[in-house]
Amino acid sequence: MRFNTILSFLATAGLAASTPLSPILQAANIVNIANVIPNQWIVVMKDISDSSFQSFLASRDASIISSTKAIHNIGTFKAFSGTFSQTLVNLLLSKAEVAYIEADVKVSINALSTQSTARPWGLGRISHRKKGSTDFVYESSAGVGTYSYVIDTGVLTTHVEFEGRATFGVNLAGDGLNTDGNGHGTHVAGTIGSRAYGVAKKTNIIDVKVLDSKGAGALSNVILGIEWAVKDMESNSRKGKALANLSIGTAYSQATNDAVKAAVGRGLFIAVAAGNNGGDAALYSPGSEATACTVGASDANDVKAAYSNYGTVVDIFAPGSQIMSTWIRSNTDSYTQSGTSMSTPHIVGLAACLISLEGAKAPGPLCERMKTLSTKDVLTGGSGASVNYLAYNGNGA
């Protein structure tokens, strides 16, 4: 299915039928044509050294250099992105160092309908084995000493619920607005670590803005955001206590998955939304990346949300329907949203709490720890083969 999609897209894009395609390019998925940004491409390198990557960059044709928008280097993931003509794409495909080339696409947030009021049930659910409680039982350490990167639409860092623990990191959305003009990122951050609505009430929140006020942006900017978080983690010696939230989705993207995998390999725990398509999460990114902690959504009745993606790539479920959190109309505002965007920050917050309670953990074992703690076999509904694990913080209630 993916192979045919690629060939179809390449024909539509006008690449010559005689162009030799590398096996990796053929295996990578060029995503939904409707979301493609015309003539923008992500060129992903083979697993080469930093020095070889720098040599390749320096030796590029002048027209390629002038058309390059960004250079990406996250450990094993090395790439560059920009606006390249068909001629330049063909030239790059001929280079032995190039693994594959993927179309740059528009990505979007994974939130659904909004409501003005709802019962704040999510925190109670993850701190009790049985449904129905709205009381949140948690350890007082509550994520102290951890750092949660929110790669999203921005964060209203001045919101009173963040108590000064939220800081602006970087704006890669290109809109010049160093705050949240959409609300999605602030909502996510609030579920991770706000005073009233947060799981980890003492974590530090870092705003990594990659999407604009419409909740959309280029995939290449999301990759830049992942890279920025990794480098900030490393430069500040936060490995083992740094987490990232990606409540962002697109159709299957090898470049996205490879970037996430490389970041996890550097020690950054990343929780990703399974997606709101009601389908197999293996068809979407970054939810399909095995090294990330992929999160599905449930409701207050312990039913897997009909919108939530499912499948064997989903690691765990968390509350996602009608979740109240911080909002952007004022520094005291709150709002309710639904989606796997809302379930994912529950997991980032829970991961932060476990680190502060049990010590620094590598990303893989941290996700496994949450799966071990989870409440088993209480969820109903849903389609396909998925785990029946509901997030639980282990506090005995």
Distance between CA 261 and CA 364 in Å, rounded? 11
CA proximity to 374, closest of 353, 396, 363, 389: 389
What DSSP character marks residue 147?
Answer: E
Enter the DSSP assignment of 200.
Answer: S
- Reply yes or no on whether 220 is catalytic: no
In what helix (H) or strand (E) does residue 230 lie, and over which residues does it extend? helix 219-235
Measuring CA to CA, which residue among 384, 190, 184 is closest to residue 304?
384
Whether 341 is catalytic is: yes
Options 72, 159, 184, 187, the catalytic residue: 184
Active site residue 50: no
Instruction: Tell me the angle at which helices 184-193 and 340-358 cross, rounded to the nearest 10 degrees.
Output: 30
Q: How far apart are CA 326 and CA 332, in angstroms?
A: 8
Tally: H helices and E strands in the chain: 11, 19
Among 195, 201, 226, CA closest to 356 = 201
Query: DSSP 3-state assignment of 250?
Result: strand
Kindly name the residue from 220, 341, 343, 374 that is annotated as catalytic: 341
Contact 148, 205 (CB under 8 A): yes
How far, in Å, CA of 38 to CA of 103, rounded? 8
Establish how many alpha carbons lie within 13 A of residue 146's alpha carbon, considering only the half-sphere containing its beta carbon.
35
Residue 241 phi, psi dihedral angles, 5° rounding: -135, 20
Place of tokens 């970037």: 259
Q: Give the separation between CA 134 and CA 126, rounded to whole angstroms.
A: 10
Which of these is catalytic: 152, 180, 232, 258?
A: 152
Residue 16 token pair: 């010559």
| Rg (alpha carbons) of the chain, rounded to whole number | 20
Rounded to whole angstroms, the Cα distance separating 293 from 269 reads: 8
Which residues are catalytically annotated? Answer: 152, 184, 341
